[in-house]
Structure 1
Amino acid sequence: MSDLIWLSDAQMRRIERHFPRSHGVPRVDDRRIVSGIIFVIRNGLRWRDAPREYGPHKTIYNRFIRWSRLGVFNRIFAELAAKGGKPDQLMIDATHLKAHRTAASLLKKGLFPRRIGRTRGGLNSKLHAVCDGLGRPLIMLLSEGQMSDYKGAALMIDAFPKAAALLGDKGYDADWFRTALADRGIAACIPSRANRNVPIPHDTVLYRRRHKIENMFGRLKDWRRIHTRYDRCAHTFMSAICIAAAVIFWL
């Protein structure tokens, strides 16, 4: 197939230090398997439909599940994003990701929640994200679909890097959030809600740049297994999101 994805040697050198060490029998070529994982997630395939060039589909699937549980892909994304340099601006927003019936049909038993909720649009998850001024994701959080934007911001705010300003829509117009940003030396560029008695002015020219985070969500959703959630476990779905974000924006 001419459209196969293969990570380059330079890309592999940037991420391979996060791979677990092999014990006993040497494992199958990391470059081939990770490239196969990326191909399946981008094209929305079933694991069994992975091209033969990537090797046995069970090996690809087992590697993805095992490394997801270990948090390998989350750490890869976090380190690559941290090396992106100090951002001049931050942008925050959230988007819904539809949960397919294979992910949402059964109740999840166990210690960890599935991060699937019900909204007027049906069963879905919500991806909260903070990106830099270039529209590259820095922080991502997966929650139930019904979680409000500002509650997601509350869970991420301690990880915000230093920046001059933060751009957000009306969903983030909360007094506590503005105060928290001011305490960190970040100016809030957020339009006021319609029910505010005294609207708070914001920089309308600067606010026009907020489309970049919308573009970022659009590029993530171009990957079919991100646009539609097929994974029942939250940690495997979040790993897929981290893989897509790392490949699109940081590798």
Structure 2
Amino acid sequence: MDEVFLLSEVQFNRIRRYFPLSHGVPRVDDLRVVSGIIYVIKHGLQWKDAPKGYGPHKTLYNRFMRWSRMGVFNRVFTALASQAGDPEQLIIDATHLKAHRTAASLPKKRGFPRLLGRTKGGLNSKLHAVTDPRGRPIRLLLTAGQVSDFKGAALLLDTLPKAKTLLGDRGYDANWFRNALKGKGINLCIPSKRNRKVQIEHDKILYKQRHKVENMFAKLKDWRRVHTRYDRCAHTFFSAILIAATVIFWL
């Protein structure tokens, strides 16, 4: 294959600093390897089916696994997302990601967290996200599929940046969540649940902006290895999500 997808020099220079330094023998070109990893994740390929132009597929796989364990892709995403500063408005939501049968084949005795749950008719993982007003993800969290939106919101609560308003669907209508956000100085735009005795008013015009987080999930799921989880270990699957989010929204 003569022509392969490569990040531009401008894009690669923005993330180069976050990669570990090589020691001893110089490693294979980072630009080519990182571009190959992106290509595999986007198209949902097996590593052995990566185009030859990216070099040996074992190099792509080993680099992805090693840097996933080191948290490199998490640092890249966090650093680029933080460069935009604190947004005035936040949008929160969650979505299920279907797990392929190969993702459930890791024995529990090995001690690697899987973050899989049986819900919606099969095994799933759940991605919780907080975006800025433009629908760009700034906080991401992976949990088992049966974890409620409330629990995901509770885990994200302390990491939320300063903002004026937070938008969410009625699944986040809970008194403790409303009180916690008010304690952080964040106004809420969340519809009341239908069974709430006293309905709480919300800005219906502002609430229409919530579709941006749904659009964000749709763009992430265009990447095949995000849409369907093939990875056994949760940290490698989450790294694939972070890579997709970084390339789509922050590069």
Provide TM-score, normalisation by structure 1.
0.97
**Gap regions ≥5 residues in structure 2:** none
Alignment of 1:111-190 (within 5 A): 111-190=111-190
- Residue aligned with 1:95, SS: strand
Q: Residue 110 of structure 1 corresponds to which residue in structure 2?
A: 110
Amino acid aligned to 1:210: R
What is the alpha-carbon distance in structure 2 between the residues aligned to residue 4 and residue 182 of structure 1?
A: 50
What is the alpha-carbon distance in structure 2 between the residues aligned to residue 144 and residue 107 of structure 1?
A: 16
- Residue aligned with 2:36, SS: helix
What is the alpha-carbon distance in structure 2 between the residues aligned to residue 244 and residue 67 of structure 1?
A: 15
Q: Residue 75 of structure 1 corresponds to which residue in structure 2?
A: 75
The one-character-per-residue Cα deviations of 1:70-113 (angstroms, maximum 9, x if unpaired) are 00001000000000122121000000000000101343333342
Q: Residue 55 of structure 1 corresponds to which residue in structure 2?
A: 55
Q: Residue 222 of structure 1 corresponds to which residue in structure 2?
A: 222
**Gap regions ≥5 residues in structure 1:** none
Q: Residue 44 of structure 2 corresponds to which residue in structure 1?
A: 44
What is the alpha-carbon distance in structure 1 between the residues aligned to residue 107 and residue 155 of structure 2?
A: 25
The one-character-per-residue Cα deviations of 1:173-193 (angstroms, maximum 9, x if unpaired) are 010000011011111100111
Q: Residue 4 of structure 1 corresponds to which residue in structure 2?
A: 4
Conserved 8 A contact 2:137-2:216:
yes
Q: Residue 237 of structure 2 corresponds to which residue in structure 1?
A: 237
What is the alpha-carbon distance in structure 1 between the residues aligned to residue 95 and residue 240 of structure 2?
A: 16
- Residue aligned with 2:158, SS: helix
Q: Residue 86 of structure 1 corresponds to which residue in structure 2?
A: 86
Identity level (%): 69
Runs of 4+ that moved beyond 4 A = none
RMSD of aligned residue pairs (Cα, Å):
1.2
- Displacement of 1:25 in angstroms is 0.4
What is the alpha-carbon distance in structure 1 between the residues aligned to residue 155 and residue 3 of structure 2?
A: 39
What is the alpha-carbon distance in structure 1 between the residues aligned to residue 145 and residue 237 of structure 2?
A: 14
- 2:31 matched to 1:34? no
What is the alpha-carbon distance in structure 2 between the residues aligned to residue 118 and residue 15 of structure 1?
A: 36
Deviates more, 1:215-224 or 1:80-89: 80-89
- Residue aligned with 1:142, SS: strand
Provide TM-score, normalisation by structure 2.
0.97
The one-character-per-residue Cα deviations of 1:10-60 (angstroms, maximum 9, x if unpaired) are 111111111111111000000000000000000000000000000000000
What is the alpha-carbon distance in structure 2 between the residues aligned to residue 94 and residue 170 of structure 1?
A: 12
